[in-house]
Structure 1
Amino acid sequence: MSVQHRNNVHCHGDGPATIVFVHGYGCDQQMWRFIYPSFATRYRVVLMDLVGCGGSDLSAYDRDKYSTLHGHAEDLLDVIDLYAKAPAVFVGHSVSAMIGMLATIIAPEKFRAQIMVGPSASYINDGDYVGGFNPEDIDGLLKLMEIDYDAWVKRMAPAIMGAPHPQLAKELLTRFERNDQDITRHFARVTFTADHRADVPKSTVPALILQCSDDMIAPREVGDYLHQHMANSRLEVITNIGHCPHMSSPSASADIINEYLAQLGATA
């Protein structure tokens, strides 16, 4: 099986440097459509779908391999090896920010920078750590997925996208409804129960943490935690309600990313 087919890889532009965009939970590469074209004029842009999502090869979804985020991190490194002019800039939304972080720990030489959009090292509150959800909240969400998937997506899509963005929430709802339910349930448990706090200090690749001012999925405390525990990190908070600033506030998101890359000297 080819990596291109497995991860539905598409490339745009032919700049001297590569920027790789990877979507968040339950989504696909189309979620970057408001941002990536402006980068394609200067970079080689690589878009991919996580296995189990979008146009990826669903038959490649191995529950053992993808029982942790490390399986997806291995896939990301495969894509970079084949399609990127390393070292690459990685842009990951939500769970893919953690997938990218794990990949930077495995092979830091392959990355110039990591842009973490709405990341979370753990979604579950634990002592002084604020992840946004109590354990019983996560248990309830996962049980609702098992009992009534349609009710789950109708509840989660507006919460993820944010109240002021009904059309985008409707789009996200449609994407969730099209997903393979068994895979989506499995990936939900992997995503929402993962705890990568111990891995955060291991990543030394320069990082931009881009967070929304009002995000119920990844609250401000999560961004503060990552910034405090990641060497070479910078935290930027964008005024936006929801968990998807690359869709609901794409111009502001692109501006912050461009400014960061310019200061880092990672512009194409």
Structure 2
Amino acid sequence: MGMLKGLSTSMNAKISGNAGAEVIVLAHGYGGEQSIWEKIVPSLEEKNQVVLFDWNFSGAFSEDNNHSYDPIKYDSLDAFANDLVSLMDEMNIKSCVFVGHSMSGMIGCIASIKRPLLFKKLILIGASPRYLNSEDYEGGFEPSEIEQLLSTIESNFQPWATAFAPIAVGTKDPLIAEKFEKSLKKMKPEVALAVAKIVFLGDYCHVLEKVETPCTLISTTYDIVVPSSVPYYMQKKMINAKSRVEIIDVDGHLPHLSAHEEVLIVLSKELYS
């Protein structure tokens, strides 16, 4: 690829695997970093090119003044979608399969509307367009719960991360919870709060009908963050995209960590069938 510059440097972007093959872009979610994908990367690299990177809110992001986290610039998921498109352009990627976890799911949707030709397919893991409940929508949280969550992140970020990681991961395996906890705790508390506000107070339901890229929505049987009705709601709203829902029979918000073999089965069905 030669020397990459700008965004790709600060976002620690790297491309590996089978040169000339399909490009798969893996985008981590809130509290994550690219190492969260490590269990599925080796299998994907056998037949594809794999792109990994760290979002600028991640604790693994390389600080650089041009691209560091500015809460005024990053006031919605739109700014991250712009970064994603710019990163792809800088890496000279003309088309990709985008795999986005959690908040990256909606970032991928927004980016695909901006640049449809760049995205062949969207594969979203634990994505949600809105976390607040309303009369006709189950987002998973009441306004008071979100208020409480944000004030805890603000006042007690580290203890909150310790408590949240195992619940989010939803597995009995302490090593998996510990991996996510470490990654979460690397975030700067003020950045963690700013991003949590964008995620938990945002409403991106209106974006779904504009998506035209084929989309697979991967969900687990029980996810503390995203109710199981959400992927079906998203599918119903994606009136212009061919979409389908895949439910993996495990608990938790990070199946690529806790049930990577099941995730790989879904991915290979999407990539090779």
Specify if TM > 0.5.
yes
Residue identity (%): 32
Whether the 8 Å contact between 1:89 and 1:112 is mirrored in structure 2 is yes
1:177 to 160, 180, 185: 185
Secondary structure, aligned partner of 1:66: coil
Matched with 2:53 is 48
Gaps in structure 1 of 5+ consecutive residues: 264-268
**Counterpart Cα distance in 2 of 1:32 and 1:84:** 22
Whether the 8 Å contact between 1:108 and 1:205 is mirrored in structure 2 is yes
* Greater Cα shift, 5-14 or 133-142: 5-14
The answer to whether residue 36 in structure 2 is matched with residue 36 in structure 1 is: no
Matched with 2:81 is 73
Secondary structure, aligned partner of 1:219: coil
**Counterpart Cα distance in 2 of 1:84 and 1:22:** 17
**Counterpart Cα distance in 2 of 1:38 and 1:163:** 23
The answer to whether residue 14 in structure 2 is matched with residue 4 in structure 1 is: no
**Counterpart Cα distance in 2 of 1:188 and 1:246:** 21
Following TM superposition, the consecutive aligned residue runs of length 4 or more in structure 1 with deviations greater than 6 angstroms are: none
Matched with 1:266 is none
Secondary structure, aligned partner of 1:189: helix
**Counterpart Cα distance in 2 of 1:20 and 1:177:** 24
Matches within 5 A, 1:1-268: 2-13=6-17, 14-58=19-63, 59=65, 60-83=68-91, 85-230=93-238, 231-263=241-273
Whether the 8 Å contact between 1:164 and 1:241 is mirrored in structure 2 is no
Secondary structure, aligned partner of 1:220: coil
Q: CA deviation at 1:84?
A: 5.1
**Counterpart Cα distance in 2 of 1:228 and 1:248:** 28
* Greater Cα shift, 52-61 or 87-96: 52-61
Instruction: Give TM-score, length-normalised by structure 2.
Output: 0.93
Whether the 8 Å contact between 2:60 and 2:186 is mirrored in structure 1 is no
Instruction: Give TM-score, length-normalised by structure 1.
Output: 0.94
The one-letter code sitting in structure 1 at the alignment partner of 2:176 is L
The one-letter code sitting in structure 2 at the alignment partner of 1:44 is Q
* Greater Cα shift, 79-88 or 177-186: 79-88
Secondary structure, aligned partner of 1:239: strand
The one-letter code sitting in structure 2 at the alignment partner of 1:148 is N
**Counterpart Cα distance in 2 of 1:229 and 1:261:** 24
RMSD: 1.3
**Counterpart Cα distance in 2 of 1:83 and 1:41:** 21
Gaps in structure 2 of 5+ consecutive residues: none
The one-letter code sitting in structure 1 at the alignment partner of 2:217 is I
**Counterpart Cα distance in 2 of 1:188 and 1:3:** 23
Q: How many residues get paired?
A: 263
